[in-house]
Amino acid sequence: MQLHSDHLRTLAAVLDEGSFDGAARALNLTPSAVSQRIKAVEQQLGRVLLVRSKPIRATESGELVMRLARQFDQLEHETLSTLGVESGGQGPVTVPLAVNADSLGTWILPALAELSGSENVRFDLYREDQAHTVALLVAGTVMAAVTSAAEPVPGCIVRPLGAMQYRPMAAPAFAARWFPHGVTLEALAAAPVVNFDRRDDLQHDYVAMRFRRHAGSAGQGPDAAAVPRPPSHFVPSSADFAAAVALGLGWGMLPPLQVAERVESGALVDLDPGGGVGIPLYWQQWRLASGLLSRIGDAVEAAARAALQQV
């Protein structure tokens, strides 16, 4: 059995675009031709590769074939480039990456911009929480990811990047109103908090840490059920999240790397100079004999070493 490269590209296009019509436009084909190619490869493998939803998504078998499609495209492009052969007018190779919002908003983009100036590459960035980016690797959606997962995904290699530091911060007026006596348990239980989205547990983790510390000093066992959930706002943008905290919407965990100027100007204050949370980050990429992917990893690692706390 042999899979056709055109079928692999078509599958990748359908998943990238989310529909047969979108893939047809990207590939300069008719929707019927796209449908016939997908049907042909599904019949060849005897498996359903796509869930016909909106947007279309891959089945478990489709995820495996998607990874092969990405790898084939990457290796073909590099081979043709090395040989000095034009790659059929396809232009630069697309490398999909998954990156958490705070890394996107602080340290990683300059490294990718520098690479784009020296490499024939186009980046397709997926913004996802660092605890969930590995799912995109497993699905074959991306070829590499910034993640908090130290355990390598099957078929991937992992590099430690360092720890992203977060501090509990607030606007001065907000701090004076809600934390007049410092970061007490009573204040943490009542003060409004800004969360990135409903999967953002960073603020809750900080509150839980303070409650566990108090329970330990009082000779009590930790009781997760006793950790309160204060009133929450949701602001799903890294820059807007920082702006919301600075405007007094609530307190939030912010990376000093992102808000140094606001701290220096007095627009933000550190609520707990002796505390904070460090999130270790890792770079996971497919175990693929790709010079370009290795150079991307090297550039990301170098940028992280300059920006993140090394542990």
Taking only the tens place, the pLDDT of each residue in 18-62 is 999 999 998 999 999 999 999 999 999 888 999 988 899 889 898
* pLDDT tens digits along 210-219: 888 877 665 5
Q: Where are the alpha helices (DSSP H) in the chain?
A: 5-17, 20-27, 31-45, 60-83, 101-104, 108-118, 133-138, 172-178, 185-190, 202-217, 238-246, 256-265, 291-307
The whole-chain average pLDDT of the chain stands at: 89
Identify whether the C-beta of residue 185 lies closer than 8 Å to the C-beta of residue 214: yes
pTM over 0.75: yes
Is pLDDT of 78 > 60?
yes
pLDDT at position 94, please?
82
Q: Which of 59, 61, 60, 63 is nearest to 51 (CA)?
A: 59
142/124 Cα distance (integer angstroms): 9
How do the domains of the chain map onto residue ranges? Answer: 165-279
Q: How far is CA 119 from the centre of its chain?
A: 22
- Name 286's Cβ contacts closer than 8 Å, sequence gap at least 6: 67, 70, 71, 137, 143, 144, 155, 156, 293
- Please name the residue that has the structure tokens 């004076």: 176
Q: Which amino acid is at 293?
A: L
- Superfamily, domain 165-279: Periplasmic binding protein-like II (3.40.190.10)
Q: Where are the alpha helices (DSSP H) in 234-311?
A: 238-246, 256-265, 291-307
273/203 Cα distance (integer angstroms): 16
Tokens standing for residue 310: 């090394």
Residue 155: which region, alpha, beta or left (left: phi > 0; alpha: psi -120 to 50)? left
- Please name the residue that has the structure tokens 């934390």: 179
Identify whether the C-beta of residue 251 lies closer than 8 Å to the C-beta of residue 169: yes
Is pLDDT of 93 > 90?
no
